[in-house]
Amino acid sequence: MALAGNPREALLWALCDLEENNFKIFKFHLRDRTLLTGQGLARGELEGLSRVDLASRLILMYGAQDAVKVVLKVLKVMNLLELVDKLSGICLNDYREIYREYVRCLEERQEEGVNHRYNQLLLVAKPSPGSPTLEQELKVEDLFAPREGPDQGPPTVVIQGSAGTGKTTLARKMVLDWATGTLYPGRFDYVFYVSCREVVLLPESTLDQLLIWCCGDNKAPVAEIRRQQPERLLFILDGYDELQRSFAERLKRPGPTPIEDMLHRLIRREVLPTSSLLITTRPLALRNLEALLKQPLHVHILGFSDNERKKYFRSYFTDEEQIKNATDIVQGSDVLSKACQIPGICWVVCSWLKGQMERGGVLSESPSNSTDIFMAYVSTFLPPNDNEGCSELTRRMVLRGLCSLAAEGIQHQRFLFEEDELRKHNLDGPSLAAFLSSIDYQEGLNIKKFYSFRHISFQEFFHAMSYLVKEDQGQLGEESLREVNRLLDEKQQAGSEEMTLSMQFLLDISKKESSSNFELKFCFKISPLIRQDLKNFKELMNSIKHNRTWDLEFSLYDSKIKNLVRSVQMSDVEFRVGHSNESNSCSRKSFSVHTSLSRGTRDKEGRSGRMGSTEMGTLELKEDGGVEGQERGADRVERNGKI
């Protein structure tokens, strides 16, 4: 009989493949209640059953999938391993389609899935140490292509970028595109997405439990998935930096947690050593991650181009007048124009502008740095807003609650919060959708709701603000001094260091203009003690070399354009992931990633011409976090991404 393509046919095929004597022995084992978890068949029920009758009986009792598992158990006891391998392969082929369908439908059920809005990002591959090659653009479909060099083991790709650069969206999009068959066709049997933020919810810290969690199926054939061609598995570990515990937590409990240990073993290739890995992280966690890796490929996400930012505005705003107003405001501000290169901040800017427009607000002044942008957003959406009867006291209470929740999470490296924890901080999750998002997690028969800040940058912002709004204002000096000492210690070992986003926000607020802006927007008077601590903190931070968040993306973007001009001599550079509009049981939109650098000009509609010289713009970072832009030429690097 030809190999079957579904569990029912596979079950019948396996029984028909048994010789007569083995078929009798097989029925004998079916009477073993210990082997079949208390559901063995009585001898009288088995007498006279043909192979077809027995297959029907087992499917009726267990269902097709579980009936196959019963047959596999018995065949293993009988040591018919060749038949076990064939039957497992047939079932896994079927389960692959079940898993693909699960991934597709799971994404469609998301309120704002990765297909909801998309824009182009530039991915830049970082050369290995000592390599003479320059940074080069990279296609998503080539991330796991064979690389040059001796002893190249299973591929490990590290995608790094600051908060908000689109790492999570890219990771989720890759899983969805694999599930629809448009990315890595024929390369991977399974692509598993692991959120390092949510993995802490696992009831057990085992690889099998991780696979069950990824599949969303307690009955997933995880043993067979691990055993059959592990080199055809891809694990995407998203947000490795969110797995890291705080320094204080590591002092209390040295060594990794069980969850960390399981993932570290996967990264170190101690389990499933032939599988492929893709890890996304912020730069702060790179040093710890590097110690676990062997010959990784490092890739940077750099952000939006001017043209892609305009496309994003058109996808975000639905009203033509709003699009024009938002575009004029952003183009009129060097800081906003530069900030909107980062997808996450672009979303914050768009949300803030739309909120102001809908409320009829007037923008009295333009933000002077990224911290001012976050302050503008928070002051716009913090109650009372248009909620009559919501007092200024409530506004302060909500702000303090968000700050204390964020600080507690950062200090203990926690990003998910239960509803009871929100109530402890006097917060109501559903009414704070501008700052918090929720996920439902099934625990047995119950569903628990967890909340997280809409983005890690919001949690870091409220953490910074917590030093300014807490009633006990005597801790800022101690906390800031500890952070500065960390930067000093790690700088000696690893060169220049990116400061935490919380400290960057705090450093910006320490500037006179921003602190006055803070007091005006939130009606909080910063105490003289806190002001002195801010001044001391600013002096300490200015005395050491450090990188601000997003500086790396800005500088790489500028240098990348120059390198492309030199290395490709103005020839076209293509970066494309094309996806079809083929329909499946869950409707979805098409997706395209395209990067181009063309020699020529663009007309007013953005079309590229094939003649004329190319001019190159430069961007200068100001000390206060702002940006000065010089004249840009017609050429653009277009990139794909979404928050």
Per-residue pLDDT tens over the stretch 556-582 = 555 554 444 343 332 333 323 333 333
Final residue before a domain boundary, out of 294, 328, 349: 294
User: Does any domain span residue 351?
Assistant: no
* Same structural domain, 493 and 619: no
Report the pLDDT value the prediction gives residue 546, as an integer from 0 to 100: 63
Report the pLDDT value the prediction gives residue 443, as an integer from 0 to 100: 66
* Same structural domain, 30 and 87: yes
Report the pLDDT value the prediction gives residue 205, as an integer from 0 to 100: 87
Length of the chain measured in residues: 643
Report the pLDDT value the prediction gives residue 32, as an integer from 0 to 100: 77
Report the pLDDT value the prediction gives residue 193, as an integer from 0 to 100: 96
DSSP H or E stretch at residue 540? helix 528-542
Cα distances (angstroms) measured from residue 594 to each of 120, 323, 407, 579: 7, 24, 40, 12
* Same structural domain, 528 and 567: no
- Who contacts 327 (Cβ-Cβ below 8 Å, separation ≥6)? 310, 313
User: Does any domain span residue 245?
Assistant: yes
In whole angstroms, give the CA distance from residue 338 to residue 538: 24
Report the pLDDT value the prediction gives residue 39, as an integer from 0 to 100: 63
User: Does any domain span residue 378?
Assistant: no
Spatial CA neighbour of 171 closest among 155, 154, 192:
192
Report the pLDDT value the prediction gives residue 234, as an integer from 0 to 100: 97
Total domain count, the chain: 4
433: left (phi over 0), alpha (psi -120 to 50) or beta: alpha
* Same structural domain, 518 and 589: no
| The pair of three-digit structure tokens given for residue 611, joined into one six-digit string | 């003649």
* Same structural domain, 541 and 558: no
In degrees, rounded to 5, the angle at the alpha carbon of residue 29 between the alpha carbons of residues 58 and 64 is 20
User: Does any domain span residue 208?
Assistant: yes
In degrees, rounded to 5, the angle at the alpha carbon of residue 284 between the alpha carbons of residues 209 and 295 is 70
In whole angstroms, give the CA distance from residue 458 to residue 100: 33
Biggest CA-to-CA distance, the chain: 92
CATH of the domain at 101: 1.10.533.10
Final residue before a domain boundary, out of 516, 547, 578: 547
Residue 249: give the domain boundaries.
153-294
* Same structural domain, 540 and 564: no
* Same structural domain, 565 and 636: yes
Is the Cβ–Cβ distance between 123 and 140 less than 8 Å?
Answer: yes
User: Does any domain span residue 1?
Assistant: no
User: Does any domain span residue 433?
Assistant: no
User: Does any domain span residue 481?
Assistant: yes
* Same structural domain, 505 and 616: no
DSSP 8-state assignment for residue 439:
E
Final residue before a domain boundary, out of 274, 294, 314: 294
* Same structural domain, 537 and 569: no
* Same structural domain, 576 and 542: no
Residue at 173: amino acid letter: K
Spatial CA neighbour of 384 closest among 395, 398, 400:
395
**Which residues in the chain land under pLDDT 50?**
1-3, 247, 385-387, 389, 487-488, 490-496, 561-643
* Same structural domain, 499 and 577: no
592-595/575-578 β-pairing: antiparallel
* Same structural domain, 577 and 604: yes
Spatial CA neighbour of 158 closest among 291, 297, 343, 28:
297
pTM: 0.70
User: Does any domain span residue 112?
Assistant: no
